[in-house]
Amino acid sequence: MKRKVIPILVFSLLVSLIILSDVRLSQFAGATDTDVITLRLAQSKAASHPVSLGSDKFAELVEEKSNGKIIIETYHDGLIGDDREVIESAQRGSISFAGSSTPNMTSFTNYFTAWDLPYIFENKEEVYKAIDGEPGDIIRQEMEKSGFKVIFFPDYGFRQIVNNQHAVEVPSDLEGMKVRTTNSRIEQADFEAFGAHPTPISWSEVFTSLQQGTVDGEGNSYSLLWDSKHQEVLSHATEVNYNYSSDIVVMNKEIFDDLTEEEQNIIMESGQEAMEWQRQVANEREAEAKQQFIDFGVEVYEPTEEEMMEWKQASEVVWDTYVREGYAEPEYVDIILETLGKTKEGIFSE
């Protein structure tokens, strides 16, 4: 009986490992070069969000370029976990790929903290120039120290200020308002500088918090807000671009290194093409979502140049507080500014 049970247990364990982990089938006895490699990619945003669409495009390109030999299964809507959970799963190798917003990656490298600084990026051209240049390369190298291979950076978008109380044109209009923030200390400092009361709340609770009056407003991109139906509990939006939030798709470095050079090239080429495709989709979707807000009845205010300078100058204190070693590393901030051909003084002066 034992002789029969042991092989069954071994087979069951092998099947479980294949189900629970992303593995190369050809590592097992009897496999051939024609076997398919099935890998998983998980992230938390809604399947319709441009970030999610970028991941789907990446999977599509990998399958196409590998002639169906590499299949990437994508999981959205937090089905496998939130940002932190899927990133930790990818680091362990439980899944091959994970997507996360960059503020949730600061525990791996505080270089991401610099990306959160208000107005360090003032338009998408600057964002792409930094990500595609030396600042992005530094991040890629740093992430490898934590066991990740950076595949691409999906475009998430600029955060706007939205609320359900009254029109906000300049920072003083936020005085006393309770505004939901992420756990980012820099974002919280932004709203303190604007005169609001920053209130960190998990994303899953924001809609109800707005509905019940726990908070009066929040900061986020038009597309994410619309896809999450937040227009139903909002009445005003102010387009101030106070913070750019990027996403990142990473792969477990050991799994990546175990691939053949050809397979690695397919992964990286697909990531680059998916990023270029996704950027266009993200920008189109953001413009569409903004119009949807307007059509829904949410008042969208676009500050004048003078008012925009008020927003910038109000947030300069955040740089004074957080551009220091251990937070937004001064040397890295300088590299970003040099790459973009601008200075801190130029951002905050008339």
Q: How far from 36 is each of 11, 27, 239, CA to CA, in Å?
A: 20, 11, 47
What's the pLDDT at 33? 55
CATH architecture of 158-244+287-348: 3-Layer(aba) Sandwich (3.40)
What's the pLDDT at 10? 44
- Alpha-carbon gap, residue 225 to 218, rounded angstroms: 10
- Alpha-carbon gap, residue 244 to 220, rounded angstroms: 9
- DSSP structural state of residue 230: G
Number of Cβ within a 10 Å radius of residue 229: 10
Q: Where are the chain's structural domains? A: 2-155+246-285, 158-244+287-348
| Token digits of residue 226 | 């619309």
- Alpha-carbon gap, residue 171 to 310, rounded angstroms: 7
Kindly tell me if the per-residue pLDDT of 121 is higher than 60: yes
Question: pTM for the full model?
Answer: 0.87
71: left (phi over 0), alpha (psi -120 to 50) or beta: beta
Domains 2-155+246-285 and 158-244+287-348 share a fold: yes
**What pLDDT digit, counting tens, does each position of 301-319 carry?**
999 999 999 999 999 999 9
Cβ–Cβ < 8 Å for 40, 98: no
CATH architecture of 2-155+246-285: 3-Layer(aba) Sandwich (3.40)
**What pLDDT digit, counting tens, does each position of 329-343 carry?**
999 999 999 999 999
